[in-house]
Amino acid sequence: MNGRQSIFDIHRTMKFHLELTDKCNAACPMCGRTQQMTRCLPDMTKVKNIELELDLIKRNFTPDLCSRISEIDLCGGLGDPPAARECFEICEYFIGFGIKIILSSNGGLRSETWWKRLGELFEGTASLVEFHIDGLEDTNHLYRVNTRFEKIMKNAEAFLGAGGAGEWHFIPFQHNEHQIADALKLSREMGFSTFRIIDTIRFGKENRFTYQLPDGRMQDLNPADPDLIRTFQTNAGGARPSNPRDDLATATAVRCKSEVQNRPYIVATGAVSACCWIEGSDDERRMYSKAGVDHGLAHNIRNRPLEEILLEEPYRTIYPQAWAENTNPVCIRKCAKMQRSSRRAL
Ligand SMILES: C[S@@+](CC[C@H](N)C(=O)[O-])C[C@H]1O[C@@H](n2cnc3c(N)ncnc32)[C@H](O)[C@@H]1O
Ligand code: SF4
Ligand code: SF4
């Protein structure tokens, strides 16, 4: 640890990843919030329909802390940020400190007026919205279940038209791979700054993902043609992620992305975590139990100040020890073997 107190250094520049809410209008079958075999209904063992409120944010993200934050990702694991009641006001609060906001959304919620105001707020700043749109009018809803393409386009137009910077992120599947070029062209015409391909690794061993549509019909998601994606990635100068089935025993050393970026994660319950991969995992439970800390109560910004939490175990010695001893399978997969979905700009 080189004499440092914690894997997070609250005195140097920080970034954060926040899950503003676990509410969402969509039901993407591969998302953690969705029961893919039960009409894509929300998994109520995980979804609590809660959100981080502006007051709670202000209490923990003091002006002093904000003065050291360069960037905040409003993304999360279970919800869509605009579904949080005070999403706009929270963006406004952080942008007031010159913090760059990266807001990830399916773009289907809220009115054009709301998106126009957000565009005006983001204009002239480094902040941006990632619109996650996996196809065109006839395909986007096959993954972004329950969303309407026409509404997403109107919202994106309102945001971009008001001067907001936006990126179009596209997950290719067999059913939408033929639309990549058209979506790229449309994104340029609409004024998106960047178009990115997300090469998802969520197909599992069978390399196919079966789910049930809300109307009861069964449907398969199949991977896009790897040669096609490779061509796009090569043209964009990217590399493919490592093979998800590599043996954990051959992992190289863990290099914690969150420690390097000084970027903790906070979920909509208020619980603090090291990152969105370890959050809620057995690895995390084991480390908290070793630390003797009640994660839900003591490491929750509703109960304790954020800056105190970040300096306590398991973030002092327990995480570094687990990395040195290779005892966290999640950390090995994500930050040694780099088994992550890749993102490439075209
Ligand atoms: C749970 S979402 C939360 C933010 C927002 N609701 C959204 O979808 O952008 C977090 C991230 O997971 C991404 N995602 C969803 N399905 C995915 C998949 N099958 N593979 C890789 N990333 C996926 C989303 O696009 C988003 O960037
Ligand atoms: S839009 Fe985001 S949060 Fe909502 S279901 Fe899809 S991936 Fe999950
Ligand atoms: S998976 Fe483990 S090593 Fe990687 S960022 Fe998260 S806590 Fe750090």
Counting ligands in written order, the one closest to the CA of 277 is 3
Alpha carbon of 71 to ligand 1 centroid (Å) = 19
pLDDT, residue 176, reads 97
Ligand 1 and 201: CB distance under 6 A? no
Kindly list the domain boundaries of the chain, sorted by start residue.
Answer: 14-345
pLDDT, residue 250, reads 55
Instruction: Walk along the chain (346 residues) and give the pLDDT tens digit of each residue.
Output: 445 689 999 999 999 999 999 999 999 999 999 999 999 999 999 999 999 999 999 999 999 999 999 999 999 999 999 999 999 999 999 999 999 999 999 999 999 999 999 999 999 999 999 999 999 999 999 999 999 999 999 999 999 999 999 999 999 999 999 999 999 999 999 999 999 999 998 998 889 999 999 999 999 999 999 888 888 777 665 544 444 444 444 558 999 999 999 999 999 999 999 999 999 999 999 999 999 999 999 999 999 999 999 999 999 999 999 999 999 999 999 999 999 888 889 9
Alpha carbon of 75 to ligand 3 centroid (Å) = 17
Select from 28, 105, 134, 341 the residue to mutate for testing ligand 2; criterion: most ligand atoms less than 8 Å from CB: 28
Query: Which string of DSSP letters, residue by residue, matches 32-54?
Result: TTEETTTTTEE-TTT----B--H
Which residue, judged by its Cα, is nearest atom 7 of ligand 3? 274
Alpha carbon of 335 to ligand 3 centroid (Å) = 6
Cβ neighbours of 201 (radius 10 Å): 15
pLDDT, residue 229, reads 84
Select from 44, 61, 91, 17 the least CA-distant residue to 257.
17
Ligand 2 atom with the shortest distance to the CA of 31: 8
Counting ligands in written order, the one closest to the CA of 331 is 3
Residue with tokens 């107190």: 5
Select from 261, 262, 272, 278 the residue to mutate for testing ligand 3; criterion: most ligand atoms less than 8 Å from CB: 278
Select from 29, 343, 75, 346 the least CA-distant residue to 198.
343
Q: How far is Cα 331 from Cα 258, in angstroms, rounded to an integer?
A: 11
Q: How far is Cα 80 from Cα 26, in angstroms, rounded to an integer?
A: 8
Q: How far is Cα 100 from Cα 106, in angstroms, rounded to an integer?
A: 20
Cβ neighbours of 337 (radius 10 Å): 20
pLDDT, residue 344, reads 85
Q: How far is Cα 72 from Cα 90, in angstroms, rounded to an integer?
A: 11
pLDDT, residue 340, reads 87
Tell how strand 34-35 and strand 41-42 pair up. antiparallel
Which residue, judged by its Cα, is nearest atom 1 of ligand 1? 77
Instruction: Please give the CATH architecture assigned to the domain spanning 14-345.
Output: Alpha-Beta Barrel (3.20)
Q: How far is Cα 120 from Cα 34, in angstroms, rounded to an integer?
A: 33
pLDDT, residue 3, reads 52
Which residue, judged by its Cα, is nearest atom 6 of ligand 2? 28
Ligand 2 atom with the shortest distance to the CA of 32: 8
pTM comes to: 0.94
